[in-house]
């Protein structure tokens, strides 16, 4: 059975791949923990000059797996904690992080993709904060990352209406840094990888620190608020209905409770 997270060190690049293509790389708590472990370790490894995130197959990440972990356990506060560790790690390690989004980036998968310093996407990819579709609120730092990039109005639209944002629109809005034709995607990812790997690593680190300070100073506070809110929402009838509808492939009937 293939490992759900692939961590490959190709000096000086650390590549982390979500590797459940049969589930569109839907994340379990264990996968989030493994990815966070790898990112945090990279932060103190002077041999790593770039971290690259991508998903195997046709999706970047479909979000948290609503089928649950191996024992069927639904997402809970431990899932939020693992996702928060990953987002903080991506933002706080000194090395640049490149997210290569080759397909849909949904839910916390969208949050992770947007936590990168540079996010390059295939033109056919899309970004979706799907949380409201199952009675939840955005997490993984999305409530800070998204408005910092595209403003309150568009962030609220993504959070509450759960609309897909196609990669060309995401680039136009400033949600991502690069949208490239599908056929050029791999070449552009490799070009950027080589540019970062051969570039002024210390200068990148200081630039990242300054950008964090000016645009994401409230990230940790946002993560705390998300955790509190999501924990309460996990106990609602709407979340139970959202999960049931997702599994039964039907529209949810929310009661507001």
Question: What is the side-by-side strand order in the sheet with 5-10?
Answer: 5-10, 13-18, 50-55, 97-101, 118-122, 178-180
Task: Write down the pLDDT at residue 75.
Answer: 85
Of 35, 72, 32, the C-alpha closest to 51 is 35
Which stretches of 29-118 are DSSP H helices?
Answer: 29-43, 77-92, 108-115
For 136, the domain range is: 5-182
pLDDT, residue 67, reads 81
Residue 59 to residue 8: CA distance in whole angstroms = 19
Q: Is residue 188 part of a domain?
A: no
pLDDT in the model for residue 2: 86
Among residues 1, 107, 96, which one has the least CA distance to residue 53? 96
pTM comes to 0.96
CA distance 43 to 41: 5
210 domain-assigned: no
SS3 label, residue 22: helix
State the total domains in the chain: 1
Alpha carbon distance 23, 61 (integer Å): 9
pLDDT at residue 72, rounded to an integer: 63
Q: What is the pLDDT of residue 61?
A: 98
pLDDT score of 1: 74
pLDDT at 189: 98
Q: Could you tell me if residue 201 is inside a domain? A: no
Ordered DSSP codes for 39-51: HHHHHT-TT--EE
Name residues of the chain where pLDDT drops below 50: none
For residue 241, whether the previous peptide bond is cis, meaning omega lies within 30 degrees of 0, is: no
Give the pLDDT score at 69. 62
Helical residues (DSSP H) of the chain, grouped into ranges: 29-43, 77-92, 108-115, 142-150, 152-161, 167-173, 185-197, 201-215, 219-233, 237-248
Helix (H, G, I), strand (E, B) or coil at 247: helix
- Domain CATH code at residue 82: 3.90.226.10
Whether residue 194 lies inside any domain: the answer is no
């Amino acid at each position: 059975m293939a490992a759900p997270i692939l961590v490959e060190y190709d000096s000086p690049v650390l590549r982390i791949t979500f590797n459940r293509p049969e589930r569109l790389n839907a994340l379990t708590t264990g996968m989030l923990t493994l990815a966070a472990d790898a990112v945090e370790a990279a932060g103190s490894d002077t041999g790593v000059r770039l971290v690259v995130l991508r998903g195997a197959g046709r999706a970047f990440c479909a979000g948290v797996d609503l089928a649950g972990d191996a024992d069927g356990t639904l997402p809970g506060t431990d899932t939020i904690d693992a996702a928060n560790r990953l987002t903080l790690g991506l933002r706080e390690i000194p090395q640049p992080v490149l997210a290569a989004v080759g397909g849909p980036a949904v839910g916390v998968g969208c949050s992770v993709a947007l936590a990168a310093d540079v996010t390059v996407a295939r033109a056919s990819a899309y970004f979706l904060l799907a949380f409201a579709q199952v009675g939840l609120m955005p997490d993984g730092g999305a409530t800070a990352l998204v408005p910092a990039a595209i403003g309150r109005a568009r962030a609220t639209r993504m959070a509450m209406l759960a609309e897909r944002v196609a990669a060309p629109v995401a680039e136009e809005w400033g949600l991502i840094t690069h949208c490239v034709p599908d056929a050029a995607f791999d070449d552009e990812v490799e070009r950027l990888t080589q540019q970062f790997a051969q570039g002024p690593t210390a200068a990148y680190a200081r630039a990242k620190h300054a950008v964090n300070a000016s645009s994401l100073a409230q990230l940790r506070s946002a993560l705390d608020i998300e955790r509190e809110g999501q924990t309460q929402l996990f106990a609602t009838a709407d979340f139970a209905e959202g999960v049931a509808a997702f599994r039964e492939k039907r529209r949810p009937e929310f009661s507001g409770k």
